[in-house]
Amino acid sequence: MSFHWKVLLWMAAGALVGLLMQTFLSAPAYSGLDVTGADGGVAVTGVAKGSPAAKAGLAQGQQFEAAVVSRGSEAEERVELRSAIDLADGVVKDRSNGEVLWLVPAGNSAAAAEGNVDPMAGAVALTVTFAPDSPRARAVAPFSFAADIFLALLKMLIVPIVLTSIITGVASVGSMGDLKRLGGKTFAYYMATSVLAIIVGQLLVNIIRPGDGATLGLSPLTAAGASPDASFIEVIKRMIPSNIAASLTDNGAMLSIIFFALIFGFFITRTSEPHQTRVKELFESLFEVVMTMAEGILKLLPYGVFALLVKVVASTGFAPFKALLLYMFTVALALVIHATVTLPVLLRSIGKIRPMDWFRAMSPALMTAFSTSSSSMTLPVTLKTVEERGRVSNRVTSFTLPLGATINMDGTALYECIGVIFLAQYYAAVGDFELTLGAQALVVVLALLASVGAAGIPSAGLVMMLTILSALELPLEGAALLLAVDRPLDMMRTVVNVWSDSCAAAVVARTEGEEGPLAPATA
């Protein structure tokens, strides 16, 4: 059985097991918050350790006057709180697992009536979940543990992949020698198409806004975990590490690590021999080891997806997947637009090639990409297809296609941008995170760099997405949820990656004066 079918089978099994747990095992709603009546509302008297209330940052003595459900939507509901029964039976009991409540501080209504504050100012987001002593909670616990372990393994890969891949890539591009002209054209094309793909994704995710109002069952951010200052000056300051050793121990220091890797790779090419070759080969070897490690960990993907889906479906039902369906639609639509509009325009305008003719010629490579979800594994087929069916010279294909399989990941860049902004929209809707224009600009830059550093292996784009979430100081558990629907998207974005590589070979060949690309077929 091929790997992607194995993943899909375990996805279905995880959803089924989770559904059975939700159907047959009881799980009363739970917030972990004890309150008592107080003047004009309720006062917190206890917060259970590790509960949703504790994760929300609630503490004894705080007072609230109301709970708001479905904030900002047409179904928004406000429940006045005057006793423990109002919260437990009037609000929490009727909520689905994963839903978010907003507790409104006491006195807000009076202050708002005087025009002094927003009526929701200081509201605390509280995620409802099932009671920890319920049969379902005990049944889900081992699957939750397995999902957390798998996510920890993915986190472990972040720093070594980013460091070694970017250093290796920059060192290789910076030492092209006699191929500088060809390399410059190829590199410019790859950067341009990746940026165009990211812009398409960014526009669609901001138009469709799949993260707004989504029920994902993720804990909202507290004020302490809110979005960092994303101003240009602050980004520059965070980018330059004062201690690279300290940055390498922190997944949240991705900007510093990427900056160091870029300048380290550049200065490798400016170092005299034999040191240049020794250091370059050292990092190439480290990169190969890290990629082998990543491939080994990603072999656990079917089981990680199974555990994750059992946890999600048993805890929240299929509510998160309604939001994820809109997210998947956004990614798929962006991929289709980039593959059928952006790249064909470049083929037609620069390469003077009819896009449908080129698509038919490239069909063997595209089908291989869809079935393997790996641009690196597809590379031999891509080389043969572009040379024999596309009639591009070996001089061009031997340089553009291997480089493209390494650094040209249009589909991956687009997917990472949409995935991160989708999660940021969710956290902005349910917590204190602010998705500023500066933060979105940072996502664009990091998506480009992360796509360059992404390995051409299945689901590598998801691993690189963790680097962007870390840079924005967003929880990484959101990426684990996206993992549940990653496989079909991975297959689609790999096709776009390989399609872009093949278009690059044709366009560069034309600019080099070759008449070969599909010349007999289009004569």
Map residue 124 onto helix, strand or coil: strand
Phi, psi of 42 (to 5 degrees): -130, 155
Map residue 509 onto helix, strand or coil: helix
> How much is the pLDDT for 164?
81
Phi, psi of 416 (to 5 degrees): -65, -40
- Are residue 317 and residue 445 in the same domain, yes or no? yes
- Are residue 108 and residue 149 in the same domain, yes or no? no
Q: Is 7 among the domain residues?
A: no
Chain centroid to CA 334: 15
* Residue 80 vs residues 38, 39, 76, 83, 102: alpha-carbon distances, Å: 12, 12, 13, 9, 12
Average predicted confidence (pLDDT) for the chain: 78
- Whether 452 has a pLDDT exceeding 50, the answer reads yes
> How much is the pLDDT for 330?
92
Return the higher-pLDDT residue of 421 and 491: 421
> How much is the pLDDT for 152?
79
Q: 131, 154, 178 — which closes off a domain?
A: 131
- Are residue 343 and residue 394 in the same domain, yes or no? yes
Q: Is 322 among the domain residues?
A: yes
pLDDT tens track for 30-61: 888 888 888 888 888 988 887 888 877 888 88
Domain CATH number, residue 77: 2.30.42.10
- How many of the other CB atoms lie within 10 Å of CB of 521? 15
- Whether 4 has a pLDDT exceeding 70, the answer reads no
Return the higher-pLDDT residue of 228 and 362: 362
- Are residue 163 and residue 57 in the same domain, yes or no? no
Mean pLDDT confidence for 126-138: 81
pLDDT tens track for 406-441: 677 888 888 888 888 888 888 877 766 777 777 777
Domain that holds residue 51: 29-131
User: pLDDT-derived band of residue 249, with 50, 70 and 90 as boundaries?
Assistant: confident
Which sign, positive or negative, has the C-alpha torsion 165, 170, 171, 176? positive
Phi, psi of 163 (to 5 degrees): -60, -55
- Are residue 153 and residue 126 in the same domain, yes or no? no
Nearest CA to 309 among 143, 149, 488, 150? Answer: 143
> How much is the pLDDT for 217?
62
> How much is the pLDDT for 34?
87
- Are residue 200 and residue 79 in the same domain, yes or no? no
0.75 surpassed by pTM? no
Q: 131, 157, 189 — which closes off a domain?
A: 131
Q: Letter for the amino acid at 369?
A: A
Q: Is 375 among the domain residues?
A: yes
- Are residue 149 and residue 200 in the same domain, yes or no? yes
- Are residue 165 and residue 111 in the same domain, yes or no? no
> How much is the pLDDT for 496?
92
Our count of domains for the chain comes to 2
Q: 131, 162, 184 — which closes off a domain?
A: 131
- Are residue 156 and residue 93 in the same domain, yes or no? no
- Whether 92 has a pLDDT exceeding 90, the answer reads no
Q: Is 329 among the domain residues?
A: yes
Nearest CA to 55 among 134, 103, 124, 139? Answer: 124
Q: Is 56 among the domain residues?
A: yes
pLDDT tens track for 502-522: 999 899 888 888 776 665 444
- Whether 24 has a pLDDT exceeding 60, the answer reads yes
Return the higher-pLDDT residue of 195 and 487: 195
Which DSSP symbol is given to 160?
H
The secondary structure of 229-270, three-state, reads: CCCHHHHHHHHCCCCHHHHCCCHHHHHHHHHHHHHHHHHHCC
Report the distance separating Cα 368 and Cα 374, nearest Å: 9
Report the percentage of the chain scoring pLDDT > 90.
7
Mean pLDDT confidence for 206-218: 78
Q: Is 15 among the domain residues?
A: no
Q: Is 22 among the domain residues?
A: no
Assess contact for 131 and 30: CB atoms under 8 A.
yes
- Are residue 274 and residue 397 in the same domain, yes or no? yes
- Whether 11 has a pLDDT exceeding 80, the answer reads no
Q: Is 10 among the domain residues?
A: no
- Are residue 116 and residue 198 in the same domain, yes or no? no
Which sign, positive or negative, has the C-alpha torsion 210, 199, 366, 360? positive
User: pLDDT-derived band of residue 83, with 50, 70 and 90 as boundaries?
Assistant: confident
- Whether 218 has a pLDDT exceeding 80, the answer reads no
- Are residue 126 and residue 146 in the same domain, yes or no? no
Where does residue 82 rank: exposed (0-12), middle (13-18), buried (19+ CB within 10 A)? Answer: middle
pLDDT tens track for 346-397: 988 888 888 898 998 888 888 878 766 677 667 777 888 888 888 888 777 7
